């Protein structure tokens, strides 16, 4: 199968969309509705959509009377336990308008590293998509330890895209694209496309930042994009507010061209 081209983004049949905590929690919780609008529009076109959503800990924090993200594992797990339930309810409330049912999928890194749980996860995801359910994936923060964490949900999204052989991975953030340096600095230029295997020499990619609720940054997105591209999945990095355009329009964001799909994958 020919790798997906940027001009063909509207015909991608299986798409993973990842959204971060800072885009859907706190003052930005109102972005869930327009995000769901865009996902539902793609679903209506027959696209198989998987949403990888951060935000469980951030959503649970106010209910634990926490003003900032906890640093100890037990409190993170407690906040995730409360927040994951509330987060999925918010998504389902927004999806009800379209008659779409969400399915919750919680994973740890170990689930995708070992053959048996990986096969189980793949089978479950394939069945959910076959039933036209919209899987909402998150790291299983309630049981994950520091040693077995994905580290960030950008990486999780890339591994989920690889698991299900997605045509396209859309990584959403607060910035509309990848830039040659932090976009607030003078001289920063938007990067429209990254050819497969491009080392991005000369590009100043900041280290993973923390918004107070999230853990991702440009560095984690570039790393995730490379994982997905190696598996044959095209990647688009753009802003959460542009998700509707990202699923239909080739002009937004930064495009990471995919490499050849590994032999035996759905994309091969």
251 assigned binding-site residue? no
Q: Kind and range of the H or E element at 126?
A: helix 115-130
Q: Does residue 209 carry a pLDDT above 50?
A: no
In this prediction, residue 147 has a pLDDT band, given cuts at 50, 70 and 90, of: very low
167 assigned binding-site residue? no
Write down the domain spans for the chain. 6-256
Structure tokens at 20: 């971060």
pLDDT at 149 (0 to 100)? 62
- Look up the CATH architecture of domain 6-256: 3-Layer(aba) Sandwich (3.40)
Q: Does residue 48 carry a pLDDT above 50?
A: yes
pLDDT in tens, 149-159: 666 789 999 99
CA-wise closest residue to 90 among 26, 14, 17, 157? 26
pLDDT in tens, 18-42: 998 888 877 777 889 999 999 999 9
173 assigned binding-site residue? yes
Q: Three-state SS for 175? A: coil
DSSP state of 13: S
37 assigned binding-site residue? no
Instruction: Report which of residues 8 and 214 the model is more confident about.
Output: 8
CB 228 within 8 A of CB 169: yes
Return d(Cα 266, Cα 43) in angstroms, integer: 20
Residue 45 phi/psi, 5° resolution? -75, -5
221 assigned binding-site residue? no
141 assigned binding-site residue? yes
């Amino acid at each position: 199968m020919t790798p997906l081209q940027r001009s063909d983004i509207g015909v991608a049949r299986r798409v993973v969309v990842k959204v971060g905590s800072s885009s859907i929690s706190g003052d930005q919780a109102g972005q869930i509705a327009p995000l769901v609008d865009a996902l539902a529009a793609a679903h209506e076109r027959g696209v198989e959509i998987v949403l990888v959503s951060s935000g469980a800990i951030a959503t649970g924090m106010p209910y634990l009377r926490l003003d900032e993200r906890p640093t100890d594992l037990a409190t993170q797990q407690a906040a995730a336990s409360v927040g994951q339930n509330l987060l999925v309810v918010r998504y389902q409330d927004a999806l009800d308008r379209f008659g779409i049912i969400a399915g919750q999928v919680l994973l740890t890194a170990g689930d995708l590293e070992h053959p048996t749980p990986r096969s189980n996860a793949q089978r479950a995801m394939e069945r959910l998509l076959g039933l036209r359910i919209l899987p909402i994936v998150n790291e299983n923060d309630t049981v994950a330890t520091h040693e077995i964490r994905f580290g960030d949900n950008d990486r999780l999204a890339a591994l989920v895209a690889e698991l299900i052989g997605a045509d396209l991975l859309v990584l959403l953030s607060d910035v509309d694209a990848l830039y040659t340096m932090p976009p607030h600095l003078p001289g920063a230029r938007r990067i429209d496309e990254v050819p497969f295997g491009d080392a991005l020499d000369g590009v100043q990619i900041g280290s993973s930042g923390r918004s107070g609720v999230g853990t991702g940054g440009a560095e984690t997105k570039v790393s995730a994009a490379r994982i997905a591209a190696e598996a044959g999945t095209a990647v688009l990095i753009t802003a959460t507010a542009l998700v509707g355009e990202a699923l239909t329009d080739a002009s937004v964001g930064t495009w990471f061209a995919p490499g050849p799909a590994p032999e035996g994958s759905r994309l091969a």
